[in-house]
Every structure is written in C-alpha cells, then in structure tokens.
Structure 1
Amino acid sequence: MRRSAAETREHVLAVTHDLFYWNGIHAVGVDRVAAEAGVAPTTLYRLFRSKDDLVAAYVERADENYRGWFGQAAKADGRSARDRVLAVFDELVAVVEPDRYRGCPFLMALAEYPDPELAAHRGAVATKRWVRARFGELAAELGAADPDALADQLALVLEGVYASVQALGVDGPARQARDLVEALLEGAARPARRGAAARA
C-alpha cells in the first residue's frame, strides 16, 4: 500500500527520531535515514530540503509530543494546581526509565546545534520557554507569592532530573525530585497563607 506524502513524512520523522535520539544527530547521515525508512534519498529531499530542515522537523515533532505529554499530566481536570504540578514529576519518573530514555532531546539538540540562528536550536529553546511558562501559570494558580521564582525553581528541578539520570540513573538524585517539589510548593504557598490570615 502506497503512503501519501503526509504519511511518508510522518514515517520518515518516526524513523528519524529513533536514529537521532539514540545515536546522536551528527552521527546519523541523511542516507542512513532514507535507507532505514525505506525511501529513496530523492524522496527524502523532496520532503526536507536539507539535513538542517530534517533536524528542525525532528525537534518540532518532539516538541509536539512533549507538549502533549506535559499537557496531559497537568491538565485542568478538577485537580488542584498543586496536584497537577506533582503529577508532572510523577509522570517524569516513568519517562526517564533507562530503557526509554537517553537524555532530553532538546538539550541534546542544543548541544549539537549551538548556533541560535538555526531552526533546530530555536525550536529547542522555544520548548524550554514553554515549559517554564506553563510552570508559571500553575504557580500563579497556586497563589504563590512569587510565581516567577517558583516557575524557575520547578524548571530547575525538571532539568536536574533530565541531566542527572543520564549519568546516575533513576535511583540517583532524581529520586529526590518529588520531595523537593513538594517542599517548594509548600514554601511558595506559606507566605500567601500568612497574608490571607493577616487580612482576616
């Protein structure tokens, strides 16, 4: 059965994800992507004008999947903002299991593509900014005295999990993440409660 152009593009990107993520972007050439996807190089170049375009599409696809994962974990479904923040870190533990996780694809893209003018770099930065903004929204919903500071702290814990698991595993520092987030949430809410009590 022949694929449509859209189906072929998605198939190529799925293969690209596995190759780039597990082997490194620079380590994988376009010819290898084409071969493992079962398409001719000319077909691949009709879909993506250059390897830089392919890498940018890989980062964009990873971004879409990541936003979907984060949005599902933190969705407004009747849970408190506190529970939704904690759910992100609960889900994170499953995501970073060794058989599923080599590292954060966005941090890896930033390391391999340090030029801020490149689309792949800009896309990875946009993902990180989006995550930080979502934490800011949740922090404001929590009633944190300083939502921006709490968002920064939560983002740092998240990035710390991604970075430490690569070398030290899920039983290393990452196992402290949820307790640390609970302490941050408690500390952020305390000034607001004191202020409410004083006004009462």
Structure 2
Amino acid sequence: MADTRAAPNKRQEIIDQAYRRFYDGGFHATGIDTVMADTGISKRTLYKYFPSKEDLIEAVLDQYGCDTESQLFAPAMARSDDPRRQIEAVFDVRRDLMAQKDYQGCLAMKAGQEYIGKHEGIVARGKSASLYVEDKFIDLCRRAGLTRPEDTGRQINLLFQGTALTAQMQRDLTVFDLAKKALHILFAAAAAEN
C-alpha cells in the first residue's frame, strides 16, 4: 500500500521553501530555480503540485493567511478579554513582529502590489488579506459596543496598515505609540456617538 502522507508533506515542503524565498527576495525577482535551490525537489515534482509559479504564489499566500491568524491575532486576543484592549494588542503584536530582524512586511500586500494588472488571483489574495484584518477590527468594534462599527473598524484598519508601512519605511517602531494615541481618539469618538 502506498504512503499517502508523503504527497501532502512534499507539497507543504515546497510551499514552506517558496514562502521563505519569496519573502526574502520578492515574487518577480525570485525564480523557480531559486525557490527550489537546496531542496532536493525536482521541478517535475514542483509542477505536479503547482502548474505555474502563480499557482505556487497563491498557495504561499494561503499559508500566509493562516500564519496571520496564528502569529498576529491569536496572541493579541490572548492578551485581554476586552475588545478595545485586543485591538490595541494587535498593534502591539505587529510592532513586536516588526522588531524581529528578519521582518520585511506583509507578504500578501507585497504580492498584491507586484501583480496588479498581471494576475487577478494573486491580487485578490492580497486584497483578501487586507479585508481579513479589516473584518477582524470591525468584529472587535461590534463586540466593544462602538457606534458605526463598520466605519470605525475600517478607520482602525487604515491606521493599522499605514502605521505598519510607515514603521517599515522609516525603520521607526515608535510610530506604533503615536498610532495607539490616535486609536484612543477613534475609540472616544465612537463611544461619544452612543
């Protein structure tokens, strides 16, 4: 009887390798040969699971989405039962992730930007990543009892995404402190409307 566990493990091994290589080198700049270097996996095996580089990128972005939940939101939610504190904690966890030496930004957003006008599936995954974060903030705003939770959640997402981009571009994590002050203003405005 054939070992059916080998195929999913090989597929996951390819995704893991591609994830690291694309994250380090970008999507267009990183070719399949670079992705597969030092893996011992043949191109034939790669193309068995992923008929194109774009299919592989989509699988990598799906994995990134799972990682966003486990590395960003799960730790933030564990810090408090209060939805407002959980929103603040998302900012804190992102700051902590960005403080790591190898952090290079949001992989899904990078992919979406690199493939605008070139591959709708990849762009859709980049957009989906941003909307996923936005939906999490909207849900937390609802749970916090804030007025207009959709608008407030979207505003928080804009603040969050802009803060992360600014911190990365300026190599200055103190912008998260400023963002949290702005976050408190958003909370106060949304609570005052009640």
Q: Give the TM-score of the pair, scaled to structure 2.
A: 0.88
Preserved contact between residue 96 and residue 170 of structure 1 (Cα < 8 Å): no
> Mean alpha-carbon deviation: is it higher for 97-106 or for 24-33?
97-106
Residue 37 of structure 2 aligns to a residue whose secondary structure is: helix
- The separation in 2 between residues aligned to 1:116 and 1:133, in whole angstroms, is 26
Preserved contact between residue 81 and residue 138 of structure 1 (Cα < 8 Å): yes
Matched, 1:184 2:186: yes
Q: In terms of Rg, which structure is larger?
A: 1
- The separation in 1 between residues aligned to 2:39 and 2:49, in whole angstroms, is 13
Gaps of 5+ in 1: 193-200
Gaps of 5+ in 2: none
Q: Counterpart amino acid of 1:15?
A: Q
> Mean alpha-carbon deviation: is it higher for 70-79 or for 10-19?
70-79
Preserved contact between residue 59 and residue 123 of structure 1 (Cα < 8 Å): yes
Q: Counterpart amino acid of 1:85?
A: I
Question: Post-superposition shift, 1:73?
Answer: 3.4
Structure 1 pair 30–117 and aligned structure 2 pair: CA distance change class (3 A): closer
Match of 1:129 in 2: 131
Q: Which runs of 4+ in 1 moved over 4 A?
A: none
> Mean alpha-carbon deviation: is it higher for 171-180 or for 51-60?
171-180
Matched, 1:52 2:48: no
Give the % identical residues: 25
- The separation in 1 between residues aligned to 2:34 and 2:79, in whole angstroms, is 44
Which one of 145, 161, 164 corresponds to residue 163 of structure 2? 161
How do 1:86-101 residues align onto structure 2 when only pairs under 5 Å count? Answer: 86-97=88-99, 99-101=101-103
How do 1:26-105 residues align onto structure 2 when only pairs under 5 Å count? Answer: 26-75=28-77, 79-97=81-99, 99-105=101-107
Q: Counterpart amino acid of 2:143?
A: E
RMSD: 2.2
Preserved contact between residue 77 and residue 89 of structure 2 (Cα < 8 Å): no
> Mean alpha-carbon deviation: is it higher for 64-73 or for 103-112?
64-73
Preserved contact between residue 79 and residue 86 of structure 2 (Cα < 8 Å): no
Structure 1 pair 15–76 and aligned structure 2 pair: CA distance change class (3 A): closer
| CA deviation map 1:43-71 (0-9, x unaligned) | 11111111010111111111111123343
Question: Post-superposition shift, 1:92?
Answer: 1.1
Match of 1:196 in 2: none
| CA deviation map 1:9-29 (0-9, x unaligned) | 111111111110111111111
- The separation in 2 between residues aligned to 1:73 and 1:87, in whole angstroms, is 8
Matched, 1:174 2:176: yes
- The separation in 2 between residues aligned to 1:49 and 1:116, in whole angstroms, is 17
